[in-house]
Amino acid sequence: IAGITQAPTSQILAAGRRMTLRCTQDMRHNAMYWYRQDLGLGLRLIHYSNTAGTTGKGEVPDGYSVSRANTDDFPLTLASAVPSQTSVYFCASSRTSEGEQFFGPGTRLTVL
């Protein structure tokens, strides 16, 4: 079934640990995005990639890094997790940067 998958579904992490959230899409979409969703704040863009090999910073990039080695995968890494990074993380993709975005099921991350 075509779509976007994210792993893990949920994770509890100790502060200071390194964590990579995985995102894979099989729709051959060029553009991919990472958002975090916090109560009362809505979805906020962390990083994006308009095409394989390129990445850019969104609204809240600090403490996060991404890579886009190929079209399908767009991992998000927290180098040293802090409690303020507790959130639900959604990966999204679109055929081009101008297109409608499709969202993955999300990863619920708790940093203690």
Question: Which residues make up the interface to other proteins (CB under 8 A)?
Answer: 33, 35, 40-45, 48, 58-59, 90, 97-98, 100-106
Pick the closer one to other proteins by CB: 62 or 98: 98
DSSP reduced 3-state for 83 = helix
Q: How far is the CB of 18 from other proteins (least distance, A)?
A: 26
Q: How far is the CB of 19 from other proteins (least distance, A)?
A: 20
Whether 93 contacts 6, CB under 8 Å: no
Pick the closer one to other proteins by CB: 11 or 97: 97
Pick the closer one to other proteins by CB: 9 or 14: 9
Q: How far apart are CA 106 and CA 20, in angstroms?
A: 14
Q: How far is the CB of 90 from other proteins (least distance, A)?
A: 6
Q: What is the DSSP string of 21-60?
A: EEEEE-S--SEEEEEEEETTTEEEEEEEESSTT--EE-SS
Pick the closer one to other proteins by CB: 14 or 40: 40
Residue 8: CB atoms within 10 Å:
11
Q: How far is the CB of 16 from other proteins (least distance, A)?
A: 29
